[in-house]
Amino acid sequence: GAEIQLENVTKRYPGNAEAAVDDVTMTIPAGKIVILVGPSGCGKTTTMRMINRLIEPTSGRITIDGEDVLALNGDVLRRKIGYAIQQAGLFPHFTVAQNIGVVPGLLKWNRKRIDDRVDELMDLVGLDPAEFRGRYPRQLSGGQQQRVGVARALAADPPVLLMDEPFGAVDPITRGSLQDELLRLQEDLRKTIVFVTHDFDEAVKLGDKIAVLGEKSSIQQYDTPEAILAN
Ligand code: ADP
Ligand code: ADP
């Protein structure tokens, strides 16, 4: 894992009267799962996209292990951060194997290394490669698509995983088993995981720490699930 720091981070979208994220400072410790919970529109996705450099803060600074994300080159950034989102966000015209291999492909791994890694990841998330490698996203259930989404995020073994409601689109039973698998994986992987959810039970189950956010991502509480439940 790698430590992530947000220092006085503010994001204003052009044309909006109010900031989406206003002066947020927080440290996300290496190797831990930190959950962001808060009302719809409070800036959680904006924060995730800023960490992943899909958008830039208007002001303030985001660092990973002390390095400003804006200063990292593209390949380094892709190796550092895996991103999994709601609805899995798979490329519909790519097979499962092609979806999982996107980042290794961008990093110019050779064919054999990519194929081996795809098989390994499919086993890891509980999808039989023999059955599922060649399928297209539309030929998968919602839960299977989310497994592929998580495998894709893990492909280049990044120290940081950003998961934005990654299990939001699946039924409660599948969701429970995906949560169990994530916790099991994390025992070995020890990634720094930032996980957005609306589901407080999910936050308590998965989080080492929970950040309870208010408007514009102002931090209301930031503590262990036990401490937050005690309040
Ligand atoms: P959350 O993920 O917590 O629901 P978002 O980060 O998606 O919140 O949105 C935070 C605020 O920023 C909202 O008021 C939203 O309308 C606004 N917003 C999000 N994306 C954009 C955008 N691309 N352009 C303008 N405003 C946006
Ligand atoms: P879940 O209960 O996990 O959401 P579904 O009921 O959606 O699963 O699907 C059950 C099985 O049928 C899964 O193994 C899935 O891969 C398969 N399946 C679902 N949709 C399709 C499809 N369009 N083509 C091929 N197989 C499918």
Could you tell me if the CB of 179 is within 6 A of ligand 2?
Answer: no
The pLDDT value given to residue 177: 83
Q: Residue 221: beta bridge partners? A: 212
pLDDT of residue 18: 94
Tell me, using a 6 A CB cutoff, whether residue 144 lines ligand 2: yes
Token pair of 2, please?
């790698």
Ligand nearest to the CA of 24: 1
The CA distance from 181 to 125, in Å, is 7
Q: Give 150 Cα–ligand 1 centroid separation in angstroms.
A: 24
Closest residue CA from atom 13 of ligand 2: 141
pLDDT digits (tens, 9 = 90+) for 169-216: 778 887 888 899 889 889 988 999 999 998 899 999 999 999 999 999
Handedness of CA 150, 156, 162, 164 (dihedral sign): negative
- Residue 170 is predicted with a pLDDT of 78
Closest residue by Cα to atom 25, ligand 1, is: 13
Query: For 65-77, what is the mean pLDDT?
Result: 93
Per-residue pLDDT, 231: 80
Q: Which two tokens mark 82? A: 């895996």
Give distance in angstroms: CA of 116 to centre of ligand 2: 25
- The answer to whether the predicted template modeling score (pTM) of the entire model surpasses 0.95 is no
Closest ligand by atom to 21 CA:
1
Q: Is 207 in the pocket of ligand 2 (CB under 6 A)?
A: no
Q: What is the mean pLDDT of the chain?
A: 93
Q: Exposed (0-12), middle (13-18) or buried (19+): which is 41, by Cβ within 10 Å?
A: exposed
Which of 18-32, 142-156, 201-215 shows the lowest mean pLDDT across its residues? 142-156
Which residue's CA is the nearest one to ligand 2's atom 7? 141
Atom of ligand 2 nearest to the CA of 173: 2
Q: How far is the CA of 46 from the centre of ligand 1 (A)?
A: 6
User: Within the chain, what is the greatest distance between any pair of CA atoms?
Assistant: 53
Query: How far is residue 16's CA from residue 176's CA, in Å, rounded to a whole number?
Result: 38
- Residue 148: band (very low, low, confident or very high) from pLDDT cuts 50, 70, 90: very high
Distance 125 CA to ligand 1 centre (A): 31
